[in-house]
Chains A and B, each alone.
Chain A
């Protein structure tokens, strides 16, 4: 089982072989509140690291989700269009957002592990 890693912009990423699965962190979903809408890219789209990947709306906020890594979208979680609350209920499971085929598997940016992410959000707030 691959380890879940974290970004400073509150995405999580799990890398298995050349595929990265991406979602938003538990902290991010709880800050946003009840999520009502998710706008995802389409399979086949190319995404660039640190550029906008998706948009999430709650009743009181809207947030951009950034791609943690460059590559091509191979799959999106189409369940989210009908059930955006999956991100609130199970951010690391049923709330996953996209799978990205990584462009350059040898060149993976550095992410935080759980402990350093927790540290990071504590400092941020």
Chain B
């Protein structure tokens, strides 16, 4: 039997030790009436070879991005992942370990997570972060809950150009709690409409959530937003792309109270959407409102530096229904991978990944501008993705896909008012040839 080491003789021996005559007697506590009598309608078991071919065959029914010239982004990005990263993360000392509750058996994991926390604080400029959340969207939901606890108010403003799926998840999280969630529209340039923001703010508002770069890839007018929020006890929550921080201003410098993000751009596979991991970072005065595990540095019995989980009185295993969150398992391995990624890339590597993405996206943008039939509705200040418009976008996207080009994400599904609009992304992996091929194909379609 796969993965069971006890031999029939050993099983017999143990049964004898237990004073039982059959294995069925192990389950004598279970009422007979509810035991499964008939044979389950399940596969009958396979050899490893058979499993291998069966699952590979299913995999082949996917067409992975190697087959395409892809410009898909919108929250998950195709960045280059150094080979060395997988060799570290695939070490079973990391992936077969449990949560590092026992520091003596887990110094490696604990130090790696402490380093991860340090990296996130360096990137964001924030004082503290945790050992990871599930993903960017649940990080956002937990950030909002934090702001409600901190301010003891009940109203949240969220920009409509925050990732639609993040807003969906947030809505689910607070659905049955007594809070009001209000969406702030974007303006004709695709940016947060600051006039509406001004209008909607009131003294019951706990927090304002913006995304920067926003879902359309645009860089928000932070000084303007900041000037509206100053002098009010309203927390600023910023959703961001961690890679953009290689060039963009640290959120700590513009007064963010809580920063959240999906960590996938830091060396994570796209993996059909998961697992990735969530980043959440804040000011030190709010550390006791942070959800999830936190690693700290301390001393051991001999006075040696040592790491352990800390500030656990916030968590569910101690505070139960009064905990800051119910989160227990997180996405540690993905967070450790991010620490490895940032170590491998270093200052220069990360900077290059960011400016190559930036340059590629702007090259694509400028080439698109020359195509008749293609319009660029929004601001031209963006990081690695932007929105463009073509009549009958669905048709165009299908034609491009036939030529092996995945143009991007059609926005009408999230924003009915943006029909014809497509969000396209370039990472550092795009070559000039990739972009030129896209442009050539698009020209042909636009001019048909």
By the criterion CB–CB under 8 Å, are A60 and B288 in contact?
no
A39 at interface, CB cutoff 8 A: yes
Q: Mark B310-329, 1 if CB is under 8 A from A, else 0.
A: 00111000110010000000
Contact of B319 among A36, A59, A62 (CB under 8 A): A62
Residue from A37, A57, A60, A62 whose CB has the most chain B CB atoms within 10 Å: A62
CA distance A61 to B315 in the complex (A): 10
CA distance A37 to B319 in the complex (A): 15
Look across to chain B and name the residue whose beta carbon is closest to the beta carbon of A56. Answer: B313
Residue from B288, B312, B313, B318 whose CB has the most chain A CB atoms within 10 Å: B313
By the criterion CB–CB under 8 Å, are A61 and B313 in contact?
yes
CA distance A28 to B54 in the complex (A): 61
Range class of the A interface residue count: under 10
Contact of B318 among A36, A37, A62 (CB under 8 A): A62
- What chain B residues lie within 8 Å of A74 (beta carbons)? none
- What chain A residues lie within 8 Å of B318 (beta carbons)? 60-62
Please list the residues of chain B having a beta carbon within 8 angstroms of any beta carbon in chain A. Answer: 288, 312-314, 318-319, 322
Contact of B288 among A37, A58, A61 (CB under 8 A): A37
Binding site secondary structure of chain A: strand
- What chain A residues lie within 8 Å of B322 (beta carbons)? 62
- What chain A residues lie within 8 Å of B288 (beta carbons)? 37, 39
Look across to chain B and name the residue whose beta carbon is closest to the beta carbon of A59. Answer: B312
- What chain B residues lie within 8 Å of A59 (beta carbons)? 312-313
Residue from A37, A58, A59, A61 whose CB has the most chain B CB atoms within 10 Å: A59
- What chain A residues lie within 8 Å of B313 (beta carbons)? 36-37, 57-59, 61-62
Q: List 15 A-B contacts (CB under 8 A).
A: A36-B313, A37-B288, A37-B313, A39-B288, A57-B313, A59-B312, A59-B313, A60-B312, A60-B318, A61-B313, A61-B318, A62-B314, A62-B318, A62-B319, A62-B322
- What chain A residues lie within 8 Å of B312 (beta carbons)? 59-60
Look across to chain A and name the residue whose beta carbon is closest to the beta carbon of B309. Answer: A59
CA distance A7 to B59 in the complex (A): 66
How many whole Å from A103's CB to the nearest CB in chain B? 23
CA distance A58 to B318 in the complex (A): 10
CA distance A59 to B314 in the complex (A): 10
How many whole Å from B5's CB to the nearest CB in chain A? 36
How many whole Å from B367's CB to the nearest CB in chain A? 57
CA distance A62 to B313 in the complex (A): 6
List which A36-81 residues lie within 8 A (CB) of chain B.
36-37, 39, 57-62
Nearest first, the 3 A-B pairs at minimum CB distance are: A57-B313, A62-B313, A62-B319
Residue from B312, B314, B322 whose CB has the most chain A CB atoms within 10 Å: B312
A59-B312, A62-B318 known, 9 other contacts, Cβ within 8 Å: A36-B313, A57-B313, A58-B313, A59-B313, A60-B312, A60-B318, A61-B318, A62-B313, A62-B314
CA distance A59 to B101 in the complex (A): 13
CA distance A95 to B237 in the complex (A): 37
CA distance A60 to B319 in the complex (A): 10
How many whole Å from A120's CB to the nearest CB in chain B? 25
How many whole Å from A33's CB to the nearest CB in chain B? 11
CA distance A58 to B322 in the complex (A): 15
- What chain B residues lie within 8 Å of A60 (beta carbons)? 312, 318
CA distance A39 to B286 in the complex (A): 12
CA distance A39 to B322 in the complex (A): 15
- What chain A residues lie within 8 Å of B314 (beta carbons)? 62
CA distance A62 to B288 in the complex (A): 12
How many whole Å from B19's CB to the nearest CB in chain A? 38
How many whole Å from A46's CB to the nearest CB in chain B? 15
List which A16-37 residues lie within 8 A (CB) of chain B.
36-37
- What chain A residues lie within 8 Å of B319 (beta carbons)? 62
How many whole Å from A114's CB to the nearest CB in chain B? 29
List which A70-107 residues lie within 8 A (CB) of chain B.
none
CA distance A57 to B311 in the complex (A): 9
How many whole Å from A72's CB to the nearest CB in chain B? 19
